Amino acid sequence: MRISTRNDSLLTRSAAAVWHPCTQMKQHESLPLVPIARGEGMWLYDCDGQRYLDAVSSWWVNLFGHANAYINAALTAQLRELEHVMLAGFTHEPVIELSERLSALTGGKLGHCFYASDGASAVEIALKMSFHYWRNSGRVGKTGFVSLANGYHGETLGALSVTDVALFKDTYSPLLRHSAQVASPDWRLAPNGESPRDCAEQAAHALERYLEQHHGETAAFIVEPLIQGATGMAMYDAHYLRLARQACDRFEVHMIADEIMVGCGRSGTFFAHDQAGIKPDFLCLSKGITGGYLPLSVVMTTDPIYAAFYDDSVARGFLHSHSYTGNALACRAALATLELFERDNVIENNRKKAAHLNAAAKDIGGHPRIRHFRNTGMIWAFEVETRDPAFARNFYRAALDHELLLRPIGSTVYFMPPYVIDDNEMELLVERTLKVIDALPA
């Protein structure tokens, strides 16, 4: 990477004063930080005007590109009216309209929206609400949670306790409450090359067996529908969700759909669970909901769950709160995002884009060092055969030299581009990814 002296001084100051997330800071002795000055559409520009194609949507949040004119205008107008007001005792147009529109997207089935500021907090809320629902219903023994092997639900203590990614979890295990994990339907794990559908059925049996034994002490099953993201874009058959829904119904256990990554069109439908034709009891959204502009998350739930809290007793209410709950600017950004879905017929157009990228990527699928090339909606992933223990870091650095922001998870390389990516940018992405792979040692 070429780093100028202007960039250099920002790097030193950032490494000294900013403790960066998901980072062993010592690695920045040799791996320079990238100081970004501005963004436009698919591209990020550093302080020297070097550009990088944001092929991971800035950690999976950006949907319609950087500095999107439509969202910018909506936010500027909102700034003139109201930036924020507390949501206890007060309300405002953006939060009402957003809740109504989200509810409508679930066909009114998940008609009650509770807001927070980030994904992990949404997961905390869903877990607490589920537990509290059973308590309010006199089922005080239902206090446990079950999740999928290799699942990821965020890194606050409650969310981390249902997460199953050793690198993030093991250090903190003395702080965490136990939760159970059942087999993942990830078809890459099939010992005898079973089909994705077989894997789905086998994993669903494991969940059924678990619930059969433990339903009396289980409040909820939490799952990332269709794609387990942080473990390395593990994709699975939608049939799993249908069977899991049946098992949850049969054993009276809530289903929490954590669509923080897969929601907002990422999976190819607006909600990933729609592909299974089911409805969860709780739906968590964040990341793309504001188009990648502002921190916002929401937990949506059903009439019966809401009704179990509605009472003369204060303690039976859901007293959870965050200072920025329902922030007006964030809600406005989310409304503008939903408007763009309609205005630009995004879900439909993404299908065409995905087909174009799949056609352009046939050399990736056929590459001798690449395995399991896969795609769901607007996510692509594959494993690169390598003996380099620092593959992810070395790939990331080499990709930056080729104007690409890509951040592999272990040996899994993935593309999760903003939906505004055009044909040329898709071709550039594929072409340069192949160059990066060929430049790195096996």
Ligand X SMILES: *Cc1c(COP(=O)(O)O)cnc(C)c1O
Nearest-approach distance from CB 279 to ligand X, in angstroms: 18
Count of residues interacting with ligand X (CB under 6 A): 15
**Least distance from ligand X to the Cβ atom of residue 262, Å:** 7
8 A C-beta contact, residue 53 and residue 405: yes
For 171, the enclosing helix (H) or strand (E) is none
Q: Does position 334 bind ligand X by CB under 6 A?
A: no
- Calculate the CA 174 to chain-centre distance: 26
Which one, of 367, 348, 346, lies nearest residue 430 by Cα?
A: 367
Q: Which of residues 157-216 bind ligand X (CB under 6 A)?
A: none
Closest distance of CB 160 from ligand X, Å? 10
Beta strands in 67-191 (DSSP E): 112-116, 144-148, 180-182
Q: By CB under 6 A, tell whether 154 contacts ligand X.
A: yes
| Binding of residue 412 to ligand X (CB under 6 A) | no
Tell me which of 62, 136, 286, 301 binds ligand X, using CB under 6 A: 286
H/E element holding 200?
helix 196-214
Q: Three-state SS across 220-250?
A: EEEECCCEECCCCCEECCCHHHHHHHHHHHH
Residue 54 touching ligand X (CB under 6 A) = no
46 binds ligand X (CB under 6 A): no
Q: How far apart are CB 139 and ligand X at their closest, in Å?
A: 26
CA 152 to chain centre: 9
Dist. CA 354–CA 371, nearest whole Å:
19
**Residue 416 or 437 with smaller CB distance to ligand X:** 416
Minimum Å distance from CB 117 to ligand X? 8
Instruction: Point out which span in 113-121, 353-361, 365-373, 374-382 binds ligand X (CB under 6 A).
Output: 113-121
Q: Which residue has 């504001």 as its token pair?
A: 290
Q: How far is the CB of 120 from ligand X (least distance, A)?
A: 3
Q: Of 123 and 305, which CB lies nearer to ligand X in the complex structure? A: 123
CB of 359 to ligand X, least distance (A): 28
Position 325 contacts ligand X (CB under 6 A):
no
Which SS3 state, helix, strand or coil, does residue 432 take?
helix
Residue nearest to ligand X (CB): 119
- Near ligand X by CB under 6 A: residue from 46, 54, 258, 281: 258
Strand partners, 45: 38, 51
Q: Which of residues 209-248 bind ligand X (CB under 6 A)?
A: 224, 229-230
* Complex with ligand X: residue 208 or 224, whichever CB lies closer: 224
Our CB check for ligand X shows the closer of 99 and 121 to be 121
Of positions 132, 142, 153, 215, contacts ligand X by CB under 6 A: 153
Q: Which of 112-120, 125-133, 211-219, 333-341 is the region at the interface with ligand X (rule: CB under 6 A)? A: 112-120
Neighbours of 144 (CB within 10 A): 18
Secondary structure letter of residue 29 according to DSSP: G
Between 4 and 181, name the residue whose CB sits nearer to ligand X. Answer: 181
Candidate residues 46, 118, 186, 208; the one interacting with ligand X per rule CB under 6 A: 118
Query: Residue 154: CB partners within 8 Å, gap ≥ 6?
Result: 118, 119, 120, 121, 123, 124, 160, 163, 260
> In 3-state terms, what secondary structure has residue 204?
helix
Backbone angles phi, psi at 268, to 5 degrees: 110, -15
The binding track of 133-152 with respect to ligand X, each residue x by CB under 6 A or -, is -------------------x
> Concatenated DSSP letters for 339-408?
HHHHHTTHHHHHHHHHHHHHHHTHHHHT-TTEEEEEEETTEEEEEE----TTHHHHHHHHHHHTTEE---
Shortest CB 144 distance to ligand X, Å: 19
Work out whether 261 is an interface residue with ligand X (CB under 6 A).
Answer: yes
- The residues of the shown chain that bind ligand X, judged by CB under 6 A, are 118-120, 123, 152-154, 224, 229-230, 258, 260-261, 286-287
